Structure 1
């Protein structure tokens, strides 16, 4: 019996570790890397050959000696970052403040080449808005609704464009030609598409974290749902107090030199607690609502809650406000549950319970 029940627990622990690793920024240290992650970073001082990434954010602070290919919400070549080959990306936004030695071929909602940005090859972009304030050493072909050449811009070759060209056209050493064949109609769709890809990735992480929490702490999770359903006002007030009070305490701790390390570690720990609060809040609200339909299955509540929260996140203003309220409920129920558990130590989580509600006899 003990061996059989310990296997799901071990799997849940492994699942939780995988989720936490997937949620933190991923450093790239391999010679050639293909990766999927929330944030993919080539750290300052690191050198790799090539990078292929699907992520929420891709950041190059170090050196990629070869090519960079990315599908992401945001792609940034930071000041000091170097790409020795080509940059190809479809993303919500692209910012080049470093150096790309080869060609740049991007489709994005917004593209910017900063004052410190340099592109050694040809520059091709289809976007909603393009701002060039750096150096393009080859030819440029830009299709965008708005194309702005800043005072620091320098284009050594020819410029072909389609859209509203503004700014410092004297920055172009070659010819300037309007070319209606350069399209940018697809560019405005890339930013919401990238946003949805990031949302799907976040949804998957939230589902995995929720599954690990339900598998490891079934009674505690049911208690969270029960607290939200029975006393939402007080639970939300507790959550508001935690959300405001803990950061104040962390800032106060950082005032002293001894407290700085505790404040930093506490900040990371609190961020994790807030994430758990978001997951628990969505789970608890879904369980509460499903209870009115006599559907008291925790796994169904988890799926409905995570999908519902992801949909709310896409709604302007109202969705964000509702998700904040759900966070307060989840954070309050979590804090309340941890406080109660500390005052009554020694309780153990039962095995094989699928319903949300009063404790039931354990099955075989």
Structure 2
């Protein structure tokens, strides 16, 4: 159960439909007219008050009042689902409320509540610090958390109580972070050209490269497994796998520099490349330590960084190519 958050956060970056997609974004996004399509939306505040086919959403505050014909895949600081969902709800966030009907629910958060009018037609699996069920789960309700209040109904209830995790990082975590900090400083100092080429790609198209990077990670992993099945392809898979792992390990370093660059540019500071990297790295490591949110940040950082590496390599082979190239 304690790995539920990681599973959900990986699923959060997979669009729920493959036939058609509508992408939306902005600081405040309102969907008030029906969209007969699979919708992917991100923003500070997202409100869905009209019907959509399916919904993949990430935002600070997310409110879904309209019906969703298919699945909801959501991440947010605050998530409230009032509309009925024809499929499943996969969600991760700080505070999550499910007040409508759904087929299945797989949810992780700081606090999760199933409202009194909600009906989960099959199963609900919830991992959170505080869990409250006031509604109806017709089959199995599986809960992992620190506290669980059940005033609703469920066919079968399983509760696994968890002890609060320490917010302080362990020695191994600290040593690993120091090692990556030193590695990042070496790359910034001695390979500034290639390093900043990846950072430029990341800063130009963060949302696009996050999606591309995540899909590419899954695709490459599958390809390597298929190649490794044959005796002839095993050495190729081993070498390719090592390069793949190295790229994944380096991915968040580029995001650290990009984060530091955004901060210093807005603050008007001029600390130099090494100072920019250190600032971004420290802030990113702090974000990684936040329960639940940290796992989401790690998934996004690795996906975005890997996407930046792919596009930087593409740009090196074909000058002028980039996310916006045609």
TM-score by length of 2: 0.44
Greater fraction of residues in strand:
2
TM-score by length of 1: 0.40
